[in-house]
Structure 1
């Protein structure tokens, strides 16, 4: 007799109520995110690690930004500002308590996420891609970048 047939089916877990990754959740007074174009900013925010990404949600104005942990290459603190950077983005988190512990914990979670990523052989964002078009940069005569030629 198969015992699995005698058990009642269990309800599926609700992912919304699931705790954040290794209880990584921090209150932030404000955040500033810049990738390309206009920056995102918000006050009264919350940062948390959910699965394999850093999720920042702000209240005023209501914003949400999700960053994969493997794309983060730099985490430092200066005063009460946590500076998180990748190859093409910068995230500043303002007004964090216990910033040194949070910085170290975030670094640990980033390294922990990189291990299975490298075992699977997936490329990281910062790995160099082959140059397809390596033509020399030509600046026109009317470009404002010509002022740098005067000093060289």
Structure 2
């Protein structure tokens, strides 16, 4: 029996992340089919900002955990001098708060990486990479 028969479905884990992020009403949440985040940035004109976009990154298989899934949450917002606006840093922290340490079945979510992304003029963007260890 293949190891994938014992694991949480990748699509279900991505949907779990999407649902968790959707509990925060100050951004729009979307799912990108995967691939490089540069491809996601090409679809930016279709996004209503601020936004959090979930995108598949990769998976690897081993004995324990059985699978390590990596996915990205790309956070985008308009650059604005008005301090009353939500900042990119606040949005990143919210993504971490909503997902880090959470679990779906036997899969546990953990932050692995944060980085700023060069984006379109007037748009601030950053990526948070999450590792999901599926035991």
The TM-score, its normalising length taken from structure 2, stands at 0.28
More helix by share: 2
More strand by share: 2
Structure number with the bigger relative contact order (C-alpha 8 A, sep ≥ 6) is: 2
